[in-house]
Structure 1
Amino acid sequence: MSAIKESLLENSKSAIIAGIEIHNKPIFSYRYEITSILIINAWELLLKAYIAEYNPEVRIIKKDGTTKPFEECLHFVSSKIGNSFRTTEENLNKIYEFRCNVIHFYKDNLDAVLYSLLHKSVYFYNDFLKKYFNNDLAEETNLILLPIGFKPFVSPIDFLNKESILNESSSSVQNFIKSIIYSTEKLNKEGIEESILTGFNVSVVNENRVKNADIIAAITKDSSKASIFVNKVIEGKLSNDIDAQKISIEEESLFKTIYTLKYNQVTNKCREIYSDFKQGTKFNKIMKSIKDNPDFHKKRYLDIVSKSGSGQDFYSNKIFEELNKNYTLKS
């Protein structure tokens, strides 16, 4: 069994390095298909080595000569290790899903998302190898993943924010993106903060306890219904109360994620959804009171530091919670 374990480990390391080398080739038209196959193969061998080392009573070679399939190995190892392996399990499930259904993705470009999944999987792989086999590939190979190309790097967030790409994508791609979002939500509900994707942005920083957070954007055809999932969510609402808990949010990001509606967009929406809406004294009075509530309104100044210069009013989608109290929704 020891000899089998050593062979599994060496072959696994060869597969992961081959996957990295293939991915980093400047010209390789079948890049993500081959890389995904090699990464899954590397993990399958590594998981079998783990079973051979820590659970030798479990047969990885069946009587008919076949070996325990990848999905069974993954589920078994996850059941033994528990929560600390859950993010790795979800990450590998997504890569395996792509590998098994790759023919459905041929006409679409998922490079940014696949890169992020695979990059994180390689990171998880080396962590697992160090923890359970005292072997650090980072030191052994002195390899740092720094892809250099002829185009600016595109993160999954950039990709997912381009509505045209998603709207024109096949149902297979859209379902794949939804499955990534579902995995993230599932992990969050389990209290697991690690993301299945390589992290690119920090959206909220607690001033008293700084912590990085990966994010995934779920974009629908209706941009007003875009959703952001953050590994660690700080619940609360905007407030002028000087005693309220303080968090730092970049000014620019507020007008991309929260205060996204201009005045005319609000009035147009009102005409669309309310049967008794009139842009008159009643509406003006409501809007005046709304401007005093930071949940609903924020002015964007030309000089954001001194808050001077001509500014423009922007409103959050929450404004309709208040307007619903004063107008009748169309049936």
Structure 2
Amino acid sequence: MTTSSIVTERKESVRQCLISFGFPEDTEYSYELLTLSYFPSKHSKKTLAFLILTYKQECPVSILKRVSDQPAGIVRSLRDKGFVFKSNPNDPSEFQYQNQDGIQCRSIESFDPHKIKVGGRAKALLSKALAAVISSIEIYNKPDFRYREETFAILLVNAWELLLKSKIMADNNNQISSIQVFDSSGFPKQTRSGNIMTIDIIKALNMLSSQGKINKFCTDNLVILVELRDNSIHFINKNTELSKKVLELGTASLKNFVSIILEWFDEDLSHYNFFLMPISFFHVDETRNNIFSSDKELNKLISFIYNKELNNKYEEDSDYSITLAYEVKFKKVSTANISITTNKEDTAVRVYIDEDEKIKNQYPIDSNRLKEILASRYIDFKANKRYHQIRKSLENQEIYGERYCCIRYLNSITKKGTHKKFYSTEIIKEFDKHYQKR
């Protein structure tokens, strides 16, 4: 959804909410509320009404009682989301105060979203999502597996569905109703076994997308994966070109998975080996048959993937992608260009690659490009003293090693004198903590 359509939808939600609590439709509220990264779901009318009346404005407690007689839970929930309440000067733990006229009021002064610490059912779903994504990687990387792409797609989609539901529940105080399916009368639907029925991945994706909580590239990647999953269940998709696209889609999806867990839950998955074996290492049989009577259906699926890629402009500084291409080359080289060392304490062979390749692949951003990326990414960025202080702190290799910055010296032996600094894309995430995104 576009920003304008999200704002329009939220305006209607605000109007309906005001009517349901008996407030005039023209009740004043902060327009900024319509563009925040967090917006209550349709099942959280009390929370939305509370936000309408208090965000960036003062509201008497007597009026708020029309929304809830016991608002402590609502206040706690909103504070957990990052909303900053004006507190009592005499008791900072009390989030209501007396105004100049002696009236008890509440007011939300700002919104400062932070990482959600997931717990309860949401945490259980997150754990299952991680187990599913690791299983998908293990299946794909097996040296001999006849149902590789299909099983990988099914497990990866399952992992994403669990992750999206975990996010929705975490945003709604772990309420199972936030992911339940309801009939036209408002009653919860049940499965054939009598258990609660929960929303599917597309519904979960639409919910988070409408609230601006998931990147469009990430959304399109998942839509393609779901289509691939659906085809995999009903047909056998065997084709060299499709196998290549599955690899590219899967690689992007795994990268997106790692990025979004860090963004949503502050969970660092860098200690896992989230990679897929390049297709070039597999012996792909060009003559494999498929269950289709012709290639027409298979070509439709591949065209669907290509159209999604072509209709979305690549953004270099984005953490998310629709597909990521692999380019694997085998090249004969002289052993004189490779340094291999071992020692008695460490029996692993260490291979040191060419410095130019290291810079190109791991540190693609120079200082000028870094400033360009930051200026286009943040509304409050300036290449001033504050920026230089943050950058220099991240360049400290005694603390961070070469995680964010690599220094290329003209004299690579002495590593002294003239040099140039190059940065990894990881440094952008650190600047996100200091500046406001556009």
Q: TM-score if structure 1 supplies the norm length?
A: 0.50
Q: Distance in 2 between matches of 1:29 and 1:39?
A: 17
Counterpart position of 2:120: 3
Q: Distance in 2 between matches of 1:169 and 1:151?
A: 28
Q: 1:210 to 1:175 in 2, by over 3 A?
A: farther
Counterpart position of 1:59: 178
Letter of the structure 2 residue corresponding to residue 196 of structure 1? I
Within-5 A mapping of 1:113-124: 113-124=245-256
Q: Distance in 1 between matches of 2:237 and 2:263?
A: 37
Is this contact kept in 2: 1:33–1:99, CA < 8 A?
A: yes
Q: CA deviation at 1:43?
A: 0.4
Q: CA deviation at 1:77?
A: 1.3
- After the TM superposition, list the runs of 4 or more consecutive aligned residues in structure 1 that deviate by more than 6 angstroms: 189-193, 207-211
Which of 163, 168, 173 is residue 298 of structure 2 equivalent to?
173
Q: CA deviation at 1:199?
A: 3.2
Which of 57, 81, 87 is residue 212 of structure 2 equivalent to?
81
1:199 aligns with 2:329: no
Counterpart position of 1:71: 202
Q: 1:169 to 1:195 in 2, by over 3 A?
A: farther
Letter of the structure 2 residue corresponding to residue 179 of structure 1? F
Letter of the structure 2 residue corresponding to residue 53 of structure 1? A
Q: CA deviation at 1:107?
A: 4.6
Q: CA deviation at 1:118?
A: 0.8
Q: 1:79 to 1:108 in 2, by over 3 A?
A: same
Is this contact kept in 2: 1:60–1:67, CA < 8 A?
A: yes
**Higher RCO (C-alpha 8 Å, min separation 6):** 1
Map Cα deviations across residues 19-49 of structure 1 (whole Å, 9 max, x no partner). 1111111111111111111101110000001
Q: 1:185 to 1:45 in 2, by over 3 A?
A: same
Within-5 A mapping of 1:44-193: 44-56=161-173, 59-62=178-181, 63=188, 64=190, 65-81=196-212, 85-102=215-232, 103-109=234-240, 110-139=242-271, 141=272, 143-145=273-275, 147=277, 151=281, 170-188=295-313
Q: Distance in 2 between matches of 1:52 and 1:147?
A: 34
Is this contact kept in 1: 2:122–2:169, CA < 8 A?
A: yes
Q: 1:192 to 1:4 in 2, by over 3 A?
A: same
Q: Distance in 1 between matches of 2:367 and 2:317?
A: 21
Q: CA deviation at 1:11?
A: 0.5
Letter of the structure 1 residue corresponding to residue 307 of structure 2? Y
Q: CA deviation at 1:169?
A: 7.2
Q: 1:189 to 1:107 in 2, by over 3 A?
A: closer
Q: CA deviation at 1:125?
A: 0.4
How many residue pairs match? The answer is 193
Is this contact kept in 1: 2:126–2:163, CA < 8 A?
A: yes
Q: CA deviation at 1:177?
A: 2.1
Q: Which structure would you say has the larger Rg?
A: 2
Map Cα deviations across residues 86-126 of structure 1 (whole Å, 9 max, x no partner). 11111111111011112444353421110110111011001
Q: Distance in 1 between matches of 2:143 and 2:308?
A: 32
Is this contact kept in 1: 2:247–2:278, CA < 8 A?
A: no
Question: Relative to structure 2, which stretch is displaced further, 122-131 or 97-106?
Answer: 97-106
Counterpart position of 1:19: 136
Q: Which has the larger helix fraction? A: 1
Q: CA deviation at 1:66?
A: 0.7
Other structure's SS at 1:137 match: coil
Percent identity, aligned pairs only, is 26
Q: TM-score if structure 2 supplies the norm length?
A: 0.39
Q: Distance in 1 between matches of 2:283 and 2:210?
A: 37
Is this contact kept in 2: 1:104–1:172, CA < 8 A?
A: no
Q: 1:92 to 1:108 in 2, by over 3 A?
A: same
